[in-house]
């Protein structure tokens, strides 16, 4: 078991990519904190699935956009488990529109969850990871943050910001035994992309050299790599998991 005795927290892990990440970390031996905001029942299902497979997990509700709630969640986890080895900032939303039509509220909402949410969690685990002299922080960005995407000014800005946050934290924390990396998924089949029109899906498919969409497990495997000892000399990097969409 590669992650035996390790404790991991995955934000937004009741469904989609977060759920696949939680399952993958747990099946490799980590005790997993399954964070949710709106989807309490789905988070419980993730926990049940992990426990049925013989793993350890619990669900904790917290809106990652709320600085104090993140502080409380992480203080609670660290005091009860005595450590936190892996933080995966996966929680994210979209509120797509063209720049000219985008409301201030929709811009702020996406930045607050996708970018500030990651800052809120990273800030509150950094001290503990420094104390442990070890830690893995993995941020789920997007190819939209790497290359931009028409109709996603708020989302692309949040995901590009997350890459800057990743690289800066990597530089600040490297000498303390902590790695910070990002994954930029391409088009992955989840509820986030299910709602897109057939026209948008066909246009996306056109841009993917592998000519198919990815699955949440494709992202989970990249997270597992960054969390594992195999990636111990890698920090501040961004891996696109996108079927070749951005290269």
Among residues 111 and 130, whose Cβ is nearest to ligand NAP? Answer: 111
**Assigned token pair, 84:** 């936190």
Residue choice 7, 36, 46, 169 for contact with ligand NAP (CB under 6 A):
36
Task: Give least dist CB 143 to ligand NAP, A.
Answer: 7
Of 36, 81, 155, 233, the catalytic one is 155
Give phi and psi for 169, each to the nearest 5: -65, -35
Strand, helix or coil for residue 152: strand
- Asked if 179 is part of the footprint of ligand NAP (rule: CB under 6 A), the reply reads no
Collapse the DSSP code of 195 into the 3-class scheme (helix H, G, I; strand E, B; otherwise coil) and give the result: coil
Quick one: which segment of 50-58, 84-92, 172-180, 222-230 binds ligand NAP (CB under 6 A)?
84-92
92 binds ligand NAP (CB under 6 A): yes
| Options 41, 75, 172, 191; binder of ligand NAP; rule CB under 6 A | 191
Q: Among 14, 135, 161, 243, which residue sits at the site for ligand NAP (rule: CB under 6 A)?
A: 14
| Contact predicate 30/86, CB 8 Å | yes
Tell me if residue 222 falls in helix, strand or coil. Answer: helix
63 scored as a contact of ligand NAP (CB under 6 A):
yes
Nearest partner of 62 among 13, 134, 7, 22, judged by Cα: 13
Neighbours of 105 (CB within 10 A): 9
| Residue recorded with tokens 């990815």 | 214
Output 107 or 187, the one with its CB closest to ligand NAP.
Answer: 187
**Three-class secondary structure of residue 59 per DSSP:** strand
Q: Is 155 a catalytic residue?
A: yes
Site of tokens 């961004």: 238
Contact between 147 and 204 under an 8 Å Cβ cutoff? The reply is no
- In the numeric block, the tokens 């990519």 are attached to 17
User: Rule CB under 6 A: is residue 243 a binding residue for ligand NAP?
Assistant: no
Residue 154 in the binding site for ligand NAP (CB under 6 A): no
With CB under 6 A as the contact rule, which of the stretches 7-15, 52-60, 102-110, 231-239 interacts with ligand NAP? 7-15
Q: Quick check: 47 binds ligand NAP (CB under 6 A)?
A: no
55 secondary structure, DSSP code: -
The verdict on 90 binding ligand NAP (CB under 6 A) reads yes
125 vs 106: CA distance, rounded Å: 28
Contact residues for ligand NAP, defined by CB under 6 A: 11-12, 14-18, 35-39, 63-65, 90-93, 113, 140, 142, 185, 187-188, 190-193
Q: Which residues are catalytic?
A: 155
């Amino acid at each position: 078991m590669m992650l035996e005795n390790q404790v991991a927290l995955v934000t937004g892990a009741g469904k989609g990519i977060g759920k696949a990440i939680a399952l993958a970390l747990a099946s490799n031996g980590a005790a997993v904190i399954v964070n949710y905001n709106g989807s309490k029942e789905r988070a419980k299902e993730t926990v049940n699935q992990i426990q049925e497979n013989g793993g350890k997990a619990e669900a904790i509700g917290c809106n990652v956009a709320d600085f104090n709630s993140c502080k409380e969640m992480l203080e609670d986890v660290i005091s009860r488990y005595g450590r936190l080895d892996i933080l995966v900032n996966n929680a994210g939303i979209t509120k797509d529109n063209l720049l000219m039509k985008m409301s201030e509220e929709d811009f702020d909402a996406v930045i607050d969850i996708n970018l500030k949410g990651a800052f809120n969690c990273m800030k509150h685990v950094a001290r503990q990871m420094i104390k442990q002299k070890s830690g893995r922080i993995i941020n789920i960005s997007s190819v939209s943050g790497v290359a931009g995407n028409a109709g996603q000014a708020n989302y692309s800005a949040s995901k590009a910001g997350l890459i800057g946050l990743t690289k800066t934290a990597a530089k600040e924390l490297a000498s303390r035994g902590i790695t910070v990396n990002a994954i930029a998924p391409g088009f992955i089949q989840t509820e986030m992309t299910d709602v897109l029109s057939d026209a948008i899906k066909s246009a996306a498919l056109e841009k993917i050299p592998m000519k198919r969409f990815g699955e949440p497990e494709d992202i989970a495997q990249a997270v597992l790599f960054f969390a594992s000892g195999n990636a111990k000399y890698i920090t501040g990097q961004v891996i696109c998991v996108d079927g070749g969409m951005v290269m």
